[in-house]
Amino acid sequence: MPTPIATAVPVTHTGILGLGVYRPRRVVPNAEIVAAIDSSDEWIRTRSGIAARHWAEPDETIVGMSVAAARDALRAAELDGAEVDAVVLATSSQMVLGPSAGAVVATELGMHDTAAYDVSAGCAGFCYALADAANLVRSGQARNVLVIGVERLSDLLDTTDRSCAFIFADGAGAVVVGAAAQEGIGPVAWGSDGSRTSAIKQDKGFQEYFAEVAAAEASGGTSVRPYIRMNGTEVFRWAVTFLEKACRDALDRAGVAASELDAFVPHQANIRITDALVRTLGLPETVAVARDIIETGNTSAASIPMAMEQLIRSGGARPGDTALLLGFGAGLAYAGQVVHLPPIA
């Protein structure tokens, strides 16, 4: 008989206790980027919904934006950093592979000896991290978990690329997950399809880039840094055909009917994808739909918490409302869950 090992003491219910965001100072309207991609404000608004986005300035780092969003999330949750046992940070644009941004954020928030790590799941990253956090709390492994979605995608943008330059943007959103009196985070519906990585990806690895730099130095030639690339049509088709199943799966697992939702907060990829999902799910007009993409662009792992905050701040939805979240993108990966919306700072 092996030596018995104790288990952590599980809690029955988890919830999102508070939400905070950081929007970079610099607002970039369509007019500023159209010349380089031979486009127009009207084309971008009609094909994507985007009117403007925020691009971070040099001092608005992944860590700095995360810390700002996390401080507000903790304030909204009325919790101190000392009560947080883990930090889970989702991003695809942190250019430093080690240490994890999560560990640096935890330290900058004054936390000591706190578990911290990063999650890479593209635009689904926030919902992956939220599921992870809910499971850590539910299992009794952590009292409270700080979940952060953060991006500086402008660092990976080829500003002459017609498919990507107008879409991607920067920002951060954070939530605190902890024990709750009733369930506030439903089971996650998630998956991925690595056979379709070419639909959205970094166009070259850093090893390939470093070899190019070395060759260029030796020959006096030039090298081109890695950029994010996307086959927009392929992603668009996948989103409007496959993701209905993901939404229904998340609703079924939570035991919530589409007609019982107060709000729908999908990843802010393209307003036409959001509209198509609203139609195929048959969401009634009473469901508030997040359309933060208009002013914020597509901030990948940060888009869902930022869109939640915008929806609550504008009065479209209230803390406690029942909402379906759905993240999707590079991987191709997706994750969705039904939640009760949190208070905001």
Q: What is the smallest separation between the CB atom of 282 and ligand UT7, expressed in angstroms?
A: 22
List 127, 164, 267, 270, catalytic entry: 267
End-to-end C-alpha distance for the chain, whole angstroms: 52
Closest approach of ligand UT7 to the CB of residue 155, in Å: 16
Bridge partner residues of 18 (DSSP): 176
Select 241 or 259, whichever has its Cβ closest to ligand UT7.
241
Query: What residues line the site for ligand UT7 (CB under 6 A)?
Result: 37, 39, 43, 47-48, 123, 162-163, 166, 200, 232-233, 235-236, 239, 269-270, 273, 298, 300, 329
Contact between 314 and 163 under an 8 Å Cβ cutoff? The reply is no
Catalytic residue check, 123? yes
Q: How far is the CB of 171 from ligand UT7 (least distance, A)?
A: 13
CA-CA-CA-CA torsion sign (275, 279, 281, 282): positive
Q: How far apart are CA 28 and CA 26, in angstroms?
A: 6
| Complex with ligand UT7: residue 233 or 314, whichever CB lies closer | 233
- The nearer residue to ligand UT7, 77 or 243, going by C-beta atoms, is 243
Exactly one of 30, 144, 270, 298 is catalytic; which is it?
298
DSSP label of 99: S
Q: Which is nearer to ligand UT7, 116 or 127 (CB)?
A: 127
Question: Active site includes 13?
Answer: no
In contact, 19 and 175? CB cutoff 8 Å: yes
Helix (H) or strand (E) holding 202: strand 200-202
Q: Which of 123, 127, 164, 247 is catalytic?
A: 123
Q: How would you classify the pairing of strands 322-329 and 263-266?
A: parallel
Pairing of strands 170-179, 144-152: antiparallel
Return all residues near 202 (Cβ < 8 A) that are at least 6 apart.
Answer: 156, 226, 227, 228, 229
* 3-class state of residue 105 by DSSP: helix
Tokens of 158: 């080829």
Annotated catalytic, 298? Answer: yes
CB of 293 to ligand UT7, least distance (A): 10
Q: Tell me the closest approach of the beta carbon of residue 67 to ligand UT7, in angstroms.
A: 24
CB of 201 to ligand UT7, least distance (A): 11
Q: Is the peptide bond before 136 cis (omega within 30 degrees of 0)?
A: no
User: For residues 48 and 93, which CB has a smaller minimum distance to ligand UT7 in the complex?
Assistant: 48
Q: Which two tokens stand for residue 244?
A: 């209905």
Smaller CB distance to ligand UT7: residue 166 or 342? 166
- Please identify the residue of the shown chain whose CB is closest to the bound ligand UT7: 232
Q: What are phi and psi of 281, to 5 degrees?
A: -80, -10
Pair of tokens at residue 192: 């991925």
- Annotated catalytic residues are 123, 267, 298
